[in-house]
Structures are given as structure tokens and as C-alpha cells.
Amino acid sequence: MNLTIENILLVGSLLLFISIVVGKTSYRFGVPTLILFLTIGMLAGSEGIAGIRFNDPKIAQFIGIVSLNFILFSGGLDTNWKSVKPILKEGIMLSTVGVLLTAVTLGTFVWFVTDFTIFESLLLGSIVSSTDAAAVFSILRSKNLALKNNLRPTLELESGSNDPMAYVLTISFLTLVINQDQNYVTIILMFLQQMVLGGIAGFTFGKISKMTINKIKLGFEGLYPVLVIALMFITFSATDFIGGNGFLSIYICAVYLGNQDLIHKSTILKMFDGIAWLMQIVLFLTLGLLVFPSEIIPYMGIGLLISVFLILVARPISVFISLLFFKMKLRRKFYISWVGLRGAVPIVFATYPLLAGIEKANMIFNIVFFISVTSVLIQGTTLSIFAKWLNVALPDEVKPIAENDRYILNLPKSAMKEVSIPPNSFAVSKRIIDLHFPKSAFIIMIKRDGKFVRPGGSTIIEADDILVVLLDNEDSLAEVNEVLEQTSMI
């Protein structure tokens, strides 16, 4: 079947529907949904049941980049800075030094066991050097896996921030494969430029985005998520335009925004959570369509050998060396090593050699695809088991509720109070978003002139308003009064 304008919506919607329905029951059998999405794409492909002919790495790469924007941005929005701050150094080491060590260790092994040149081997190692954000986020959250001692924030921070390093290494070694006389100093300078400009741009665009979201007055609540999507793509493309790393910038921008007071934040978070799932499905379906199973079979042997070495040797070596100077128990390091999931990102990165037209591009792509599949199948299905074996999982009865989950779900709190706003209060004529209420309190209703007003971030407080506030506990009322008193003193 050829994809045309007439049937692409029908085919796409059917594949999407099948993926959602099948994925709903996948965990009864312990199979990660991402593998099912990929399998459905392969079954629908040119060598599958549906026979859809799709062999365009350029379109697949474009879909991959757009999807990764949403996945990384959604992951950043869900990242709680209070949880990340204590393990920031460990996360940065894993996402930079750890990625480099994985690429070099695996690349050296590939050079020994194949006929690849050293640069081709290091290119392959770079492509699969990062843990996949889509795989880690979806598997940890869908399994509701709670871990001890900040392990989960460490894993999510690493997976969300290490793609930029893998991208830079992939482009660098691809450049060396094409131009082997390339100056190494140029490669190092490119790396520094990408990371430094990406980091600065991410934080800068984060502050600009917050100001834009809170200051602009849109007539409809549904337009605010659309505004954030525009800001996300502006951040990525503008950073890329000035020579920075767009993936790093959007992740930093999202982490900043996710920990700020934003108008209609709940709506924005819910929308991005849904779109992130959509993008994961679309991405894995697309990559499944792009793959020809008959071309993978000849490389299954070498692919399995490389995959086992990556899981059991390269990843643990990189983790233990990266965390060498941090006080961390061995079982935690072993678990971090095991959660080295490879997924869609390496497959997307493997399209770069295809588009560059290097000699062994097809071989690299097929090996990378096999590595990603085996990683999700072997590691993804055993995360809960290893967490229990290594005693790093929290019991079900003490699993904490994530801060952003509490915000999204608007879970009932344990106390409710009414707070009056006198006419001389500085809160009068101010928006709720500008009051900076503590996270332990939530305004659920405003009594005004005998009527009830449903509040939002842009709702303006008026004199004699009575705020109906839900609180975590009685002590939270003191925090609310402190905020209002500080506000009235300004």
C-alpha cells in the first residue's frame, strides 16, 4: 500500500487506535507499550501485513525531532526542581561524562569485533550512548515505580538531559567518518559551543517564556497550551540557529517553567502529558514502518553481542566511573546501570548516517535498531524485578505523590479555610498568579457579591473577596497569611 493524501489520515488513525487499545493491555504480560508500538509499525510496514511502503529517512528524522521536542519538554515540565537539586551533580555527570564513556567503551569494543573503522565504531557507540527519555519516562511512570533515595529523579534527569551529549558526539564522529582529516580542535570547540549556548539559551528562553505566558492576555484558556508549543519550538529552532544544542535548551526551558507559577498551569501540564504520549506512539510507529525486518536478521548475531556488552559492561563502567566521587551505595549504582534503556532516540540518531550516505549506514541503522529493541525488552521488562532484588523500591503503601501529579489531579487536601481580602490589601487588583501562593494551598473558589467565581491564574482579586482555600494541613494557613501579609507590605 502506498501512502497518499487520501489514505494517510485513515491509515494513521487506525494505527493510532490499534496502538492505544493494544497498549492498554500490554502490561498484563509485562511488555512495554513502546515495543508494541514499534511492532505494530513493523507489521504495518512494507514487509508486514498491511504492506505500507515507507522508506524515507528524512521524513522519519523530521518526525523524530518534532516528537523528541514534545517528549523532552513534557519530561522537563514534570521535573520537580526540589527533587532534582540534591542530585544535580550526579545527573550532570551521568548525562555528560557517562555518555562519553559509554560511547568510547562501546565504540572500542565494536572496533575489535567488527570490520568497522575506529571512527565508524565510535559513531555507532555515540548513537546508542544515551538513555532514552521516551522509554525511561513512559516505563517508570506507567509502572508507577517509586524508588528510594532520589533514584527516580536521578534517572529522569539523566535521561532527559543526556540526549544533547549523544547528539553532539554523533554529529562529531559522523563528521570524522566523512572527513577523516578534520581538525580535532574544531570538534571540541563545536562540542563546547553546542553545550554552552544550549544551556544559556534554555535558561534565557525559560525566563522569557514565563514572562510571556503570565503577561499576555489571551481570551481563551485553550490558547495557553498552544502558546507554550510555539515558545517550545522557538526555543529549539532559535538555539539551533545560533549554533547551540536545541534539545538541551528546550529541556532546561521546560524544567524552569515547570517549577514556576504559570497561568493555567494545570491545563498546560495535562495537554503536554497527552501530546507526549501521542508523540511517543507516532515516533515508534514511524520508526517501525521505516524498518525492513529482513535486513535486520543478518545482523542479529553481532547486534546481540554488542547489546549484551552495552548492557553488562559499557553502561556499568560509565556509571561507576561517573559516580566514583559521590557517596552512593553499590546497589543504587547497579540499578542506575540497569536503567540504561535505549529506545527511539538512538534510532532517530541512526538516520543521520543514512542521510549522510556513508558506506556502512544501513548496517549501523539495523544494528542500532536491534540494540534498542533488545534493551527495552530485556531491561524495560525487568525494572520492577531488579528494583526489588536490589532493595531500592519503595513499598506500595508509602509511594509518594509527585508534586506535579498533585497539581494536575487537584487532589483534595486535608483542610479548608476561608480567607478575607480587606479593601486596603495590596492583593486587590492583583492576579492570583502574582500572589505566589504556596504549593501547600490551592484556591478552589472565590465568594464575591453573593456569587461564586471559579478562579484561574489570571483571575483578578477584588476588595472584600473571600478566598476558599484548600490546605495540606492547618499549618499551611500560616504560609498563606504570610504570603498575603508580605504582599500587603510591598
**CA 297, CA 314: separation in Å to the nearest integer?**
24
Q: What is the pTM of this model?
A: 0.76
Which residues face 471 on adjacent strands? Answer: 415, 441
Q: Which three cell numbers stand for residue 462?
A: 477584588
Task: State percent of the chain over pLDDT 90.
Answer: 24
Find the helix or strand (DSSP H, E) in which 383 lies: helix 383-389
**CA 310, CA 155: separation in Å to the nearest integer?**
18
How far is residue 206 from each of residues 115, 234, 252, measured CA to CA in Å?
A: 46, 11, 7
Q: Is the torsion defined by CA of 484, 485, 489, 490 positive or negative?
A: negative
Q: What is the pLDDT of residues 228-273, one digit of tens each?
A: 999 999 999 999 999 898 988 999 999 999 888 888 888 888 888 8
Which stretches within 86-150 are classed as H helix? 88-93, 99-113, 118-127, 133-142
**CA 59, CA 357: separation in Å to the nearest integer?**
16
Structural domains of the chain ordered from first start: 8-398 (1.20.1530.20), 412-489 (3.30.70.1450)
Q: What is the pLDDT of residues 362-377, one digit of tens each?
A: 899 999 989 988 888 8
Edge-first strand order for the sheet with 466-471 is 415-420, 466-471, 441-448, 451-453
pLDDT value of position 490:
44
- Which amino acid would we find at residue 345? V
pLDDT value of position 408:
40
Quickly state the pLDDT bin for 4 (edges 50, 70, 90).
low
Longest CA–CA span in the chain (Å) reads: 80
Q: Is 326 helix (H, G, I), strand (E, B) or coil?
A: coil
- Which amino acid would we find at residue 312? L
